[in-house]
């Protein structure tokens, strides 16, 4: 398909042709449907994840727009109250469990981890394929439930309501439980890969920062997911058979549910953003043409976030009747997370400082990302202050906070990754101009959607309501307008990337002149990643010469 697969490497690491002469890229090595569906190649599995993740993103996005249209007017607009509840539940579930959690690890982690470690594949390739099918199985069970009856509890499934509602709780929870398995399997696979598959010479502190981020994420996945798995099972039997574990009418304790739920779901937000941080560390080094500032600090702070993330869950329960002392304690622990995040932010900024910045599409997303992370993180600190949270809890302020940091940062990173590694994955380039235009649209649209929501929440508009008083309308209209802009940006991206997939120019091996390990192999890589003997990586990752002397990459 792509001629570039046979283009010779322009220099650097030699790839002696001692084996066979022809090494097709992974894209064309086997073209039958079966060769894709039963592949154990991590790169193909990554691409299949990409396909599904994008599809679910589309589904979640359509439901987001429906929500925004409904909120255009104070009264009923296009649906009834019950449909509204089901719509935002479906939106939240699809976005969180089917898009955000797997997006970066399952797509880019799968594709890049072995390449960045100089390995031929992940440690357990067949388990890897299995995790894709587990994910799809869970996804379809959950979606089936949501379309046949729907679920109206919101993505948090709070008891005792979820134990009593007559909507279809069981299949959806069961689906989510199965998806959790996929997450665990992927996590175990990545951890073992980092431990056993590093090429000779790649020590722990020579691993690229993206690998560090995925490693930390996998640790959270493995440690937190089983707990929510159990919880989902308990709520399911509670709903089906009235077990009463969390139902006060039977002596159960609903707040216990919240503790267990947030014990997973707070770390889960880092499952979503840590990989994003990892992507950005790669992007910022490449386009500033500088070694990352404070490599070890960035690596350790990922582990630090993963660790303290487990002790902050109580900040979701400031108004659940926990003692003032507990509230204060969780508030302080919450702010610790902010400290670790700040370390990263300073290091990224330090990397750009005096760099030879090459302002490309991924770098544009980096700028958006920095803004969303800082702004979202600061509102997080504010929310971690008990006295303030009592006012903001369950208002649109919280919605805006978590969309800013979680969705904003993750989407920026996802799009940056998609553009940055597009040539690696497909051996082709996209149109830079369109890339920058759509990045601007998306960043603008995002701000226009969620800044009004901060104001709405601060003025007292509660989340999950279907009607609102007149005085909130202007800001709601602004938010909906922003959402349309955002959708428009995504449509443009879909168009030029699809075009590039088919008609894009061959990119060559390393179009960004990046020092990342993954660019050592061909673009797109051959089936076993490297031709010839095991590659060696003598330099640190992100090792750039003095930026003043650095070559400026060719325009693409």
Separation between Cα atoms, residue 78 and residue 63, nearest integer Å = 13
| Dihedral sign, Cα of residue 107, residue 111, residue 113, residue 116 | negative
Q: 358: how many CB neighbours lie within 10 A of its CB? A: 17
Q: Which of 241, 470, 549, 555 binds other proteins (CB under 8 A)?
A: 241
Q: 333: how many CB neighbours lie within 10 A of its CB? A: 18
Would you call 549 exposed, middle or buried from its count of C-beta atoms within 10 A (0-12, 13-18, 19+)? exposed
In Å, how far from its chain's centre is CA 73? Answer: 32
Is 254 a binder of other proteins (CB under 8 A)? no
Is 314 a binder of other proteins (CB under 8 A)? no
Taking the least distance from each CB to other proteins, the nearer of 237 and 357 is: 237
**Beta carbons of 336 and 266 less than 8 angstroms apart:** no
Q: CB of 203: closest distance to other proteins in angstroms? A: 16
Separation between Cα atoms, residue 20 and residue 481, nearest integer Å = 57
Is 303 a binder of other proteins (CB under 8 A)? no
Q: CB of 292: closest distance to ligand HEM in angstroms? A: 20
Is 307 a binder of other proteins (CB under 8 A)? no
Q: 250: how many CB neighbours lie within 10 A of its CB? A: 13
67: its two tokens: 């929500």
Taking the least distance from each CB to Cu ion, the nearer of 266 and 424 is: 266
Taking the least distance from each CB to other proteins, the nearer of 152 and 247 is: 247
Is 120 a binder of other proteins (CB under 8 A)? yes
46: its two tokens: 């990554």
Separation between Cα atoms, residue 247 and residue 159, nearest integer Å = 7
Specify which residues 506 forms β-bridges with: 428
115: its two tokens: 């390449």
**Beta carbons of 145 and 240 less than 8 angstroms apart:** no
Q: CB of 329: closest distance to other proteins in angstroms? A: 18
Separation between Cα atoms, residue 56 and residue 432, nearest integer Å = 26
Partner interacting with residue 406 (select from Cu ion, ligand HEM, other proteins, none; CB below 5-8 Å by kind): ligand HEM
Is 550 a binder of other proteins (CB under 8 A)? no
Separation between Cα atoms, residue 214 and residue 222, nearest integer Å = 12
Helix runs in 403-472, H state only: 409-420, 422-426, 432-458
Is 403 a binder of Cu ion (CB under 5 A)? no
Is 244 a binder of other proteins (CB under 8 A)? yes
Q: CB of 213: closest distance to other proteins in angstroms? A: 18
Q: 190: how many CB neighbours lie within 10 A of its CB? A: 26
Partner interacting with residue 272 (select from Cu ion, other proteins, ligand HEM, none; CB below 5-8 Å by kind): ligand HEM
Q: CB of 316: closest distance to Cu ion in angstroms? A: 5
Considering only the stretches 13-21, 255-263, 293-301, 419-427, report the one whose residues sit in contact with other proteins under the rule CB under 8 A: 255-263
Partner interacting with residue 528 (select from ligand HEM, Cu ion, other proteins, none; CB below 5-8 Å by kind): other proteins
Separation between Cα atoms, residue 519 and residue 28, nearest integer Å = 19
Is 250 a binder of other proteins (CB under 8 A)? yes
Taking the least distance from each CB to Cu ion, the nearer of 44 and 266 is: 266
**Beta carbons of 213 and 274 less than 8 angstroms apart:** yes
Q: Which residue of this chain has its Cβ atom nearest to Cu ion in the complex?
A: 266
Instruction: Name the residue among 84, 92, 89, 93 with its Cα closest to residue 66.
Output: 84
**Beta carbons of 42 and 114 less than 8 angstroms apart:** yes
- 346 contact partners, CB below 8 Å, separation of at least 6: 294
Is 393 a binder of Cu ion (CB under 5 A)? no
Q: Which of 42, 91, 266, 403 binds Cu ion (CB under 5 A)?
A: 266
Partner interacting with residue 381 (select from other proteins, Cu ion, ligand HEM, none; CB below 5-8 Å by kind): ligand HEM
Residues that bind ligand HEM (CB under 6 A): 156, 269, 272-273, 315-316, 334-335, 337-338, 341, 377, 380-381, 383-384, 389, 392-393, 398, 401-402, 405-406
Taking the least distance from each CB to other proteins, the nearer of 242 and 469 is: 242
Give the 3-state secondary structure of residue 158: coil
Is 223 a binder of other proteins (CB under 8 A)? yes
Taking the least distance from each CB to other proteins, the nearer of 245 and 448 is: 245
Separation between Cα atoms, residue 78 and residue 514, nearest integer Å = 50
312: its two tokens: 């902050």
Considering only the stretches 88-96, 171-179, 258-266, 528-536, report the one whose residues sit in contact with Cu ion under the rule CB under 5 A: 258-266
Per-residue binder mask for other proteins (CB under 8 A), 180-199, x = binder: ----x--xxx-xx--xxx--
- Positions in 43-72 near Cu ion (CB under 5 A): none
Partner interacting with residue 317 (select from other proteins, Cu ion, ligand HEM, none; CB below 5-8 Å by kind): none
Residues contributing to the site for Cu ion (CB under 5 A): 266
Q: What residues make contact with other proteins under the rule CB under 8 A? A: 114, 119-125, 184, 187-189, 191-192, 195-197, 222-223, 225-227, 229-231, 234, 237-238, 241-245, 250-253, 256, 259-260, 528
């Amino acid at each position: 398909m792509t001629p570039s697969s046979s283009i010779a490497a322009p220099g650097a690491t030699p790839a002696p042709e001692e084996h066979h002469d022809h090494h097709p890229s992974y894209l064309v090595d086997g073209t039958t449907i079966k060769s894709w569906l039963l592949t154990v190649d991590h790169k193909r599995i990554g691409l299949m994840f990409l396909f599904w993740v994008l599809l679910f993103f589309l589904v979640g996005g359509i439901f987001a727009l429906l929500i925004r249209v409904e909120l255009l007017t104070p009264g009923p607009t296009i649906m009834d109250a019950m449909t509204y509840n089901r719509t935002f539940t479906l939106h939240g579930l699809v976005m969180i469990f089917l898009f955000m959690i797997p997006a970066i690890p399952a797509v880019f982690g799968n594709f890049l981890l072995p390449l960045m470690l100089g390995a031929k594949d992940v440690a357990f390739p067949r388990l890897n394929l299995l995790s894709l099918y587990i994910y799809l199985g869970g996804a379809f069970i959950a979606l089936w439930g949501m379309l046949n009856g729907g679920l109206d509890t919101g993505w948090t499934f709070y008891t005792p309501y979820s134990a009593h509602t007559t909507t279809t709780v069981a299949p959806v929870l069961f689906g989510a439980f199965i998806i959790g398995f996929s997450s665990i399997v992927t996590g175990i696979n990545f951890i073992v890969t980092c431990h056993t598959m590093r090429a000779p010479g790649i020590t722990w502190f020579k691993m690229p920062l993206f690998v560090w981020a995925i490693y930390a994420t996998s640790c959270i996945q493995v440690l937190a997911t089983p707990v929510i798995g159990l919880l989902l099972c308990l709520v399911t039997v509670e709903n089906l058979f009235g077990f009463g574990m969390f139902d006060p009418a039977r002596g159960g304790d609903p707040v216990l549910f919240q503790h267990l739920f947030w014990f997973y779901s707070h770390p889960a937000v880092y499952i979503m953003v840590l990989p994003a941080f990892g992507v950005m560390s790669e992007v910022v080094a490449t386009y500033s043409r500088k070694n990352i500032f404070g490599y070890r600090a960035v690596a350790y702070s990922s582990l630090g976030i993963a660790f303290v993330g487990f002790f902050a869950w109580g900040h979701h329960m400031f108004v659940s009747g926990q003692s003032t002392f507990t509230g204060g304690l969780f508030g302080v622990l919450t702010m610790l997370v902010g400290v670790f995040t700040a370390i990263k932010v300073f290091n990224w900024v330090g990397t750009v400082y005096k760099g030879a910045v090459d302002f490309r599409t991924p770098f544009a997303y980096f700028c958006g990302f920095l803004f969303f992370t800082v702004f979202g993180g600061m509102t997080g600190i504010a929310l971690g202050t008990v006295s303030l949270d009592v006012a903001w809890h369950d208002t649109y302020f919280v919605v805006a906070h978590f969309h800013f940091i979680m969705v904003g940062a993750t989407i920026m990173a996802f799009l940056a990754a998609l553009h940055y590694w597009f040539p690696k994955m497909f051996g082709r380039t996209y149109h830079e101009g369109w890339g920058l235009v759509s990045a601007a649209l998306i960043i603008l649209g995002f701000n226009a959607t969620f800044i009004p929501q901060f104001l709405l929440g601060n003025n007292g508009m509660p989340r999950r309501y279907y009607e609102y008083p007149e005085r909130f309308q202007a800001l709601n209209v602004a938010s909906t307008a922003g959402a349309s802009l955002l959708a428009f940006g995504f449509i443009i991206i879909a168009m030029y990337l699809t075009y590039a997939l088919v008609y894009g120019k061959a990119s060559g091996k390393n179009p960004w002149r990046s020092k990342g390990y993954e660019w050592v192999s061909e673009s797109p890589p051959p089936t076993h990643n490297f031709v010839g003997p095991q590659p060696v990586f003598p330099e640190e990752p992100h090792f750039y010469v003095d930026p003043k002397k650095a070559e400026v990459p060719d325009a693409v």
